[in-house]
Amino acid sequence: MLCHVLRCFCVLAALSACTAAPQREARSQPLPTLIPTQPVVVAPTTLVQPTVPAPSDSGWSLTAPGVETRQLRFMHAETLAQVNVVRLDPQQLRFAVGYRPDAPTDLDSWLNDSAALVAINGGFFDAANRTVALIISDGVAFGQSYEGRGGMFTARTDGSVSLRYLGSQPYDSAEVLETALQGWPMLVHSGGAIYDYEDGVRDRRSVISYDRSGRVLLIATPTASFTLAEMARWLVSADLDLDAALNLDGGSSTALALNDSGAARVESFLPLPIVLLVFPRGSSIVGSRLGDCAA
């Protein structure tokens, strides 16, 4: 009997253990709601474009009696070309060739030493700064004339000037000339472009020209914008009314300036032994030849 009671008690204890309330599960902390990270937006970089002068034409400006200036900018060969022009009235002005092979100098020094109104670089010269063509300075000849090619600018004391093609009108040593300057090649003759050989080489250019009204035009480009053939075609197509045009030494020699600090100018990159100087008519020509004074 006692054994039976003990067995019943054990069974009841076991049942109580099985039916005991389950333990409470530990509650986990709620996870915070994450806000998606916004993508970083990088503002596009604004490129600052270099300022390029717009095409323009200053028109003619009278800067001194008989001296007019003009500056043109226009698109050529996908770049902006600039051409500086000085137009001169020979009836009011006088021309002289400056030649200093032993003491070449910059254009400002030429202008200051001579008191000229205008100056442009001259023709070609060799490594010793000697002219490779004929020049006549104050009536004295230096060098040898081109034959069958090139051209020659001449000026006389009476105010008469000429720009001739040596291929059709060669130089005669018997000619009495006060001033002469030769160059090569002849670009324009009788109003038409006569130089058409295209070598593809663009460079700075210096040109002396003569229009149908008898005026002399000095032309320079400060940048390497034209081949010689392109220069010849542009001179004919421009509204300059040219009859003749002659190429002078270009590239690093190209220079054109007025004796006026406010005027546009083209500077050479090296000293110049040969220049063409322009003076008021009736004034003394100072330092035009080899640094000497000449009346």
Query: pLDDT by residue (tens digit) across 193-238?
Result: 999 999 999 999 999 999 999 999 999 999 999 999 999 999 999 9
Using CA atoms, how far residue 193 sits from 159, 237, 245, in Å, is 27, 9, 9
109 in any annotated domain:
yes
For residue 45, what pLDDT is reported?
Answer: 60
Confidence of residue 157 (pLDDT cuts 50, 70, 90): confident
For residue 5, what pLDDT is reported?
Answer: 42
212 in any annotated domain:
yes
Task: Please say if the pLDDT value at position 284 is more than 90.
Answer: no
Number of separate domains in the chain? 1
**Cα radius of gyration rounded to whole Å, the chain:** 42
pLDDT digit string, tens, across residues 230-241: 999 999 999 999
24 in any annotated domain:
no
36 in any annotated domain:
no
- Number of neighbouring beta carbons within 10 Å of residue 57: 12
38 in any annotated domain:
no
Which residues are CB-contacts of 8 (< 8 A; sequence separation ≥ 6)? none
Query: Which amino acid is located at 98 in the chain?
Result: G
33 in any annotated domain:
no
Q: How many residues are recorded in the chain?
A: 295
CA–CA dist 119, 255 (Å, integer): 8
11 in any annotated domain:
no
Q: Which domain holds residue 229?
A: 56-294
43 in any annotated domain:
no
pLDDT digit string, tens, across residues 40-68: 555 666 555 656 668 899 999 999 999 99
For residue 41, what pLDDT is reported?
Answer: 56
Measured in whole angstroms, the distance separating CA 249 from the mean position of its chain's CA atoms is: 15
Q: Which residue has the tokens 């002078």?
A: 248
